[in-house]
């Protein structure tokens, strides 16, 4: 076969929100390296570099085939010199020497371990490393003052760093469903985040809560939280009230990508029993399916003597009024890069400001209403991309 025949012409549009990105990734050997470099840049507080690596990885994730030669990169967006060097290295040597050197560096490993603690960001990790703390064990022994979130993060470190399965997410969903139904009948909950995009595991479980009657959702979060707490489901929670109405800088333009909904960052206590109940309640006839038998087997494993019969799971809860629901759903479904690209597209290509609350047209000087995600994509002049294809 000639080299010419080997070169497939690849082309993708430049914004991630213009492309369909499924979980099927033909270029993981490249995207793993670029993602590690992105992660490292983010932990070093170099967000610009981090985004550049993430954009490059997202372009490769959207390709229909594995890249086999540098020529195929011609005309692809978001691949700067640095990223091309990483890709060439992998094509020629099988690995990226830069990614490998990073993976093995003491600093990267210390940053990864410390920012892996719930409640610890890049700046805190850096400060601790300068104090000579390079691991979770060293932090435990250091006697450093920790805030409530960090204490919980340390206490449940192993559980929180173990991926959450879909079965566990469904079991948490049942509990949140019960909580919401008992404090506000008629309220609706939606699974958002990675699980809505079809991921099989996640670092947490994300839910969006609303009520079909505008205003009925006000003050809902504290009630849901106290119900959950009274039933012993919460190991940790921090609730933030809605600050959207008080904001002065305009609802569609929050100072960061952070929104202002009533929200709760929490750690749930999920027992093996609850997990089992969720499985049997949702699929009463599924015992004939080999897949569900496998899941039950796994559950037995984790529940056997010597192990604690429960695990800690990170859960994010958000409450939105129905009038903002479509924006909140779109904003909390992710991926983070997809969201970032949607906002960039809105601003640069459409002169609009998109947030998890609203879409503002800066030319017409008015808010554009939407009752569904489809309507928001239409306002933005984008083809609708379903959640399973937002895995940029
Ligand atoms: N999000 C947000 N504000 C935050 C945290 C998260 O708007 N303070 C949004 C993110 O932009 C993302 C969604 O919530 O769209 C889910 O975030 P996260 O749970 O961090 O990521 P997932 O995509 O769910 O991935 P994972 O499976 O690792 O949880
Ligand atoms: Mn560079
Ligand atoms: Mn998530
Ligand atoms: Mn989350």
Query: What mean pLDDT is predicted for residues 16-22?
Result: 98
Q: Which residues lie with the beta carbon below 6 Å from any ligand 1 atom?
A: 193-194, 199, 202-204, 206, 258-259, 316, 331-336, 339, 356
Indicate if the pLDDT at residue 215 is higher than 80: yes
Query: What mean pLDDT is predicted for residues 374-389?
Result: 98
Q: Which ligand is nearest to the CA of 194?
A: 1
Residue 126 is predicted with a pLDDT of 98
Which residue, by CA, sits nearest to atom 17 of ligand 1?
193
Residue 35 is predicted with a pLDDT of 98
- Ligand 1: residue of 161, 165, 206 to mutate (most ligand atoms within 8 A of CB) is 206
Distance CA 350, CA 329 (A): 21
Mean pLDDT (the chain, rounded):
90
321-332 pLDDT tens trace: 999 999 999 999
Q: Using alpha carbons, select from 19, 105, 103 the residue that is nearest to residue 63.
A: 19
Q: Which residue has the higher pLDDT, 3 or 193?
A: 193
Indicate if the pLDDT at residue 374 is higher than 50: yes
CA of 83 to the centre of ligand 2 (A): 7
The reply to whether omega before 73 is within 30° of 0 (cis) is: no
Helices 97-104 & 28-43, crossing angle to 10 degrees? 50
Query: What mean pLDDT is predicted for residues 8-34?
Result: 94
How many percent of the chain have pLDDT more than 70?
Answer: 88
CA of 391 to the centre of ligand 3 (A): 12
Q: Which ligand is nearest to the CA of 193?
A: 1
Q: What is the ipTM of this complex?
A: 0.95
333-367 pLDDT tens trace: 999 999 999 999 999 999 999 999 999 999 999 99
Residue 170 is predicted with a pLDDT of 97
- Check: CB of residue 65 under 8 Å from CB of residue 133: no
- Ligand 1: residue of 161, 332, 355, 373 to mutate (most ligand atoms within 8 A of CB) is 332
206 is catalytic: yes
Q: Which ligand is nearest to the CA of 202?
A: 1
303-314 pLDDT tens trace: 445 689 999 999
Residue 283 is predicted with a pLDDT of 58
> Dihedral sign, CA of 58, 59, 65, 70?
negative
Indicate if the pLDDT at residue 297 is higher than 50: no
247-269 pLDDT tens trace: 544 444 444 445 778 899 999 99
Distance CA 384, CA 326 (A): 13
Residue 243 is predicted with a pLDDT of 72
116-141 pLDDT tens trace: 999 999 999 999 999 999 999 999 99
Residue 244 is predicted with a pLDDT of 67
Indicate if the pLDDT at residue 291 is higher than 60: no
Q: Using alpha carbons, select from 320, 279, 359 the residue that is nearest to residue 190.
A: 320
Residue 23 is predicted with a pLDDT of 98
Spot the catalytic one: 81, 206, 249, 361. 206
Indicate if the pLDDT at residue 204 is higher than 50: yes
Contacts of 74 (CB under 8 A, 6+ apart): none
Which residue, by CA, sits nearest to atom 27 of ligand 1?
202
Query: What mean pLDDT is predicted for residues 95-114?
Result: 98
Residue 246 is predicted with a pLDDT of 54
Write down the pTM of the prediction. Answer: 0.90
User: At which residue do the structure tokens 């959950």 appear?
Assistant: 228
131 is catalytic: no
Distance CA 259, CA 255 (A): 9
Residue 279 is predicted with a pLDDT of 83
pLDDT band at 9 (very low <50, low <70, confident <90, very high): confident
């Amino acid at each position: 076969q000639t080299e010419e025949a080997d070169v497939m012409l690849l082309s993708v549009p430049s914004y991630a929100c213009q492309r369909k990105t499924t979980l099927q990734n033909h270029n993981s050997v490249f995207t793993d390296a670029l993602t590690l470099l992105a992660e490292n840049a983010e932990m070093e507080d170099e967000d610009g570099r981090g985004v550049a690596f993430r954009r490059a990885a997202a372009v490769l994730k959207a390709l229909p085939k594995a890249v086999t030669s540098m020529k195929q990169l011609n005309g692809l967006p978001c691949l700067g010199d640095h990223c091309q060097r990483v890709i060439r290295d992998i094509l020629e040597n099988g690995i990226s020497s830069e990614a490998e050197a990073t993976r093995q560096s003491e600093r990267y490993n210390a940053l990864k371990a410390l920012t892996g603690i719930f409640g610890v960001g890049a700046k805190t990790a850096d400060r601790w490393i300068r104090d000579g703390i390079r691991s979770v064990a060293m932090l435990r022994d250091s006697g450093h003052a920790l805030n409530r979130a960090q204490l919980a993060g340390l206490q449940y470190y192993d559980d929180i760093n173990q991926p959450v399965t879909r079965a566990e997410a469904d079991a948490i969903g049942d509990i949140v469903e019960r909580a919401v139904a008992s404090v506000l009948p008629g309220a609706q909950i939606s699974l958002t985040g990675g699980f809505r995009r079809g991921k099989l595991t996640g670092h947490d479980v994300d839910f969006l809560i609303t009520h079909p009657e505008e205003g009925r959702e006000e003050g809902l979060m504290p009630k849901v939280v106290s119900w959950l707490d009274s039933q012993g489901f919460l190991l940790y929670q921090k609730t933030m009230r809605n600050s959207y109405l008080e904001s002065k800088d305009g609802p569609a333009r929050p100072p960061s990508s952070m929104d202002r909904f009533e929200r709760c960052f929490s750690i749930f206590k999920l027992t093996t029993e609850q997990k089992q109940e969720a499985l049997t309640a949702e699929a009463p006839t599924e015992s004939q399916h080999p897949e569900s038998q496998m899941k039950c087997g796994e559950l037995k494993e984790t529940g056997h003597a010597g192990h604690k019969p429960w695990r800690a799971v990170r859960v994010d809860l958000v409450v939105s009024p129905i009038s903002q629901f479509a924006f909140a759903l779109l904003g909390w479904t992710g991926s983070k890069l997809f969201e970032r690209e949607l906002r960039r597209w809105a601003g640069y290509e459409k002169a609009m400001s998109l947030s998890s609350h609203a879409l503002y047209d800066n030319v017409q000087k008015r808010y554009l209403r939407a009752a569904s995600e489809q309507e928001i994509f239409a306002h933005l002049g984008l083809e609708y991309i379903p959640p399973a294809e937002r895995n940029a």
